[in-house]
Structure 1
Amino acid sequence: MSSILQKLKNIKALVLDVDGILSDGFVTLTNTGDELKSFDIRDGLGMKLAQQAGLKVIIITGRQSKIVEKRMSDLGVDLVYQGREDKGTALLQACKQLNLTPQDCLYMGDDWPDLSAFAIAGAKITVPNGHTEVRRRADLITHAMGGRGAVREVCDLLLQSNGVYDELLEKYLASPY
């Protein structure tokens, strides 16, 4: 675990796929054709804590969804790229926009479209049910499944590697009484 914490020490941006990472990867459609998507609230808090620690949060997803737009807006995510199958190119564009390099980024994805971003990111993480080719190339495979706290798990590692985990936790432990 200490080797991954060392690798994460220089990370400046958390870059996330949506389906299979922030959600469980299932697409649920209603009878009227509306799409439903669930997000783990712990992942959202982890993303906010990462931002409090000075990290940028970037979303790159192959699908287009108003649900994603709304959730990421609510969380104050720095950049959202939707409808992008060319995730490596999107990562390069995000880096340019935020004055970062791909090596400054941790990319979290779960399937083949994520491999082009994996190839250039400074750290690569996936989930236990990520595709075999993605797991093979990952620096770390989370214990939690996508959409079930995997992003929070990674955010906690980022906070630990930056030495701010205990400081941020202390704010929640402080009693107002």
Structure 2
Amino acid sequence: MPSTVPSLATRAAAITLLALDVDGVLTDGTLIYSADGGESKCFTTQDGLGIKLLLEHGIEVAIITGRRSAMVERRAEELGIQRLIQGRDDKLTALREVCQASGIELAACAYCGDDLPDLGAISAAGLGVSVPNAPAYVRDRADYVTERPGGQGAVRELSELLLTAQGHWGGIVEGFLATATTTR
């Protein structure tokens, strides 16, 4: 009997909202504290461009994180992310709130996380995603596990997957190539 579970490409084609965890997904999960109490996080520009491309092509992006950080607020603002939820370990409840506020069903939402607080959201989303640096019990519940680790292009990889499934990626690459050839 054929499987009734939609393929990865079918699921990715239906996504209109991508929700992301921060530590372990947008960053490698390392927290750096200075002697004066400051905190540092490292974000990759490749993920940032992937997020901007999603937004330009009508895919809303949200951040749901268990910690509170001015750096995350700044990064969200720089990228144009309107939906930022900080200080929430109840990721599934937060994801449902984002979907309701956006008028989007969970089936049209992708969620990418890397640890126990993300399990409910990964399981409930139309496309549950994890990163390879997540524990096995998280990866096992995801529909897709990125090849690139969190903080090292995982979000960019996921962005390209969604944009490809929705028929945008080829045009994006061609647009950048056209710009490159006119500036030579």
TM-score (norm 1): 0.96
- Residue 157 of structure 2 is aligned to residue 176 of structure 1: no
Letter in 1 for 2:38: D
Q: How does 1:81-160 map to 2 (within 5 A)?
A: 81-160=85-164
Identify which of 34, 48, 53 aligns with 2:52: 48
Deviation at 1:176, TM superposition (A): 2.4
Q: How many residues align?
A: 176
Between 1:107-116 and 1:3-12, the stretch displaced more is 3-12
User: Could you say which residue in structure 2 is the equivalent of 1:17?
Assistant: 21
Give the TM-score normalised by structure 2. Answer: 0.93
Larger Rg: 2
Residue identity opposite 1:75 in structure 2: L
Which residue type is aligned with residue 45 of structure 1?
L
State how far apart, in whole Å, the 1-side matches of 2:146 and 2:72 are.
22
In structure 1, distance between residues paired with 2:146 and 2:100: 28
Shift in Å at residue 118 of structure 1? 1.6
The alignment yields a C-alpha RMSD, in angstroms, of 1.2
Give unmatched runs, 5+ long, in structure 2: 1-5
Aligned to 2:30: 26
Residue 46 of structure 1 deviates from its aligned partner by 0.2
Map of 2:3 onto structure 1: none
C-alpha distance in structure 2 between counterparts of 1:43 and 1:5, whole Å? 21
Q: Deviations over 1:38-93 (max 9, x none)?
A: 00100000000111111000100000000000011000013000001011110011
AA aligned to 1:8 is A
Report the CA distance between 1:152 and its aligned residue. Answer: 0.2
Q: CA–CA distance in 1 between the matches of 2:38 and 2:88?
A: 21
d(CA) in 1 for partners of 2:116 and 2:137?
7
- Matched AA of 2:148: A
The one-letter code of the counterpart of 1:176 is T
**Deviations, residues 117-174 of structure 1 (Å, cap 9, x unaligned):** 1231000111111022110101111111100000000000001000010111111101
